């Protein structure tokens, strides 16, 4: 059976990505309330008690605000680094396991996860490289302020990539945010613009890359058509696969690994 990747929702009001196989379910991040998590999992015909583990990329509320409640309410184990656990306030939890960058996490028998460092201000953020038992690789990376050689190395060789395309530069500069916030978003520890995401992907994509999901779009400073068209401008000559947008009110679709052909499945809500 294949491994599926489903974004339960992506944006400034909450992020969570579901990795599922016949051997279990893992959440990457949980920025949703208990009620929202239940609602979104129900669309996948799952309950919170079906989650085997949460992997948390960093402590910011849109990625980690629902972690403590899920650990306490449903006894869902969580794995994260020390800084993230301290900031979320779960260091005293028995169902917490700390990891270091580049620790291989063997959570499911047919899927492993590798956290690698990603630049993001005020956080010890990580992206996750995910490898199936058959050797197929994907990456989930959000809240990345700038590319690094290490990020490029860990994201190469993926058949699927989920990555943020947070803002359109023109919309951000002309938008309502104060200058100090605009500068933080554009800074090396902020977020990637559509153009930056396209340029980064142009260094990562290979012939094995079959699908891309653009995540964490700003509702004020971006639009799906802008994100898609700008990214495609930079990768159109090297990418012939499927590109999709994950929005705040998911889940909308799943992508599958471990099959001879890449599939995209619409989820009926």
Q: What is the pLDDT along the chain (269 residues), one digit of tens a residue?
A: 589 999 999 999 999 999 999 999 999 999 999 999 999 999 999 999 999 999 999 999 999 999 999 999 999 999 999 999 999 999 999 999 999 999 999 999 999 999 999 999 889 999 999 999 989 999 999 999 999 999 999 999 999 999 999 999 999 999 999 999 999 999 999 999 999 999 999 999 999 999 999 999 999 999 999 999 999 999 999 999 999 999 999 999 999 986 544 455 545 44
268 within some domain: no
163 within some domain: yes
Phi then psi dihedrals of residue 129, to 5 deg: -95, 130
235 within some domain: yes
**pLDDT the model gives residue 260:** 46
pTM value?
Answer: 0.94
Phi then psi dihedrals of residue 111, to 5 deg: -145, 135
Q: What is the extent of the structural domain holding 161?
A: 3-260
Distances (CA, A) of 110 to 20, 113, 258: 10, 11, 10
32 within some domain: yes
Q: Cis peptide leading into 35, omega within 30 of 0?
A: no
Q: Are 21 and 12 in contact (CB under 8 A)?
A: no
- The rounded Cα 231 to chain-centroid distance in angstroms is 17
Beta strands in the chain (DSSP E): 3-9, 16-21, 24-28, 53-55, 78-80, 96-98, 105-108, 111-117, 126-132, 137-141, 160-164, 211-215, 242-245, 253-257, 264-266
Alpha carbons 45 and 251: distance in angstroms, whole number: 12
**pLDDT the model gives residue 2:** 83
Beta-strand relationship, 211-215 and 160-164 = parallel
266 within some domain: no
**pLDDT the model gives residue 257:** 83
**In angstroms, how far is the first alpha carbon of the chain from the final one?**
23
Domain count across the chain: 1
124 within some domain: yes
- CATH label of the domain that carries residue 178: 3.60.15.10
Q: How many CA atoms lie within 13 A of 2 on its CB side?
A: 17
22 within some domain: yes
């Amino acid at each position: 059976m294949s491994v599926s990747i489903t974004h339960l929702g992506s944006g400034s009001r909450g992020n969570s990505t579901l990795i599922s196989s016949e051997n279990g379910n893992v959440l990457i991040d949980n920025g949703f309330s208990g009620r929202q998590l239940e609602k979104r999992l129900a669309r996948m015909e799952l309950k919170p008690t079906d989650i085997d583990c949460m992997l948390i990329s960093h402590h910011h509320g849109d990625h980690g605000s629902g972690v403590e409640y899920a650990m306490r309410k449903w006894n869902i184990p969580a794995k994260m680094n020390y800084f993230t656990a301290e900031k979320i306030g779960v260091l005293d939890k028995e169902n917490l396991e700390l990891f270091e960058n580049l620790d291989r996490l063997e959570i499911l028998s047919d899927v492993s996860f590798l956290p690698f460092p990603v630049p993001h201000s005020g956080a010890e953020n990580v992206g996750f490289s995910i490898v199936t038992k058959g050797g197929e690789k994907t990456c989930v990376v959000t809240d990345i302020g700038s590319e690094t050689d290490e990020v490029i190395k860990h994201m190469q060789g993926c058949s699927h990539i989920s990555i943020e395309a947070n803002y359109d530069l023109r919309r951000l500069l002309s938008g309502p945010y104060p200058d100090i916030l605009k500068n933080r978003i554009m800074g090396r520890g902020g977020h990637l613009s559509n153009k930056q995401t396209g340029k980064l992907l142009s260094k990562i994509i290979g012939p094995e890359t079959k699908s891309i999901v653009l995540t964490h779009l700003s509702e004020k400073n971006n639009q799906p058509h802008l994100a898609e068209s700008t990214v495609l401008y930079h990768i159109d000559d090297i990418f012939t696969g499927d590109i999709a947008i994950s929005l705040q009110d998911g889940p909308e679709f799943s992508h599958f690994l471990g099959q001879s052909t890449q599939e995209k499945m619409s989820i009926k809500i």
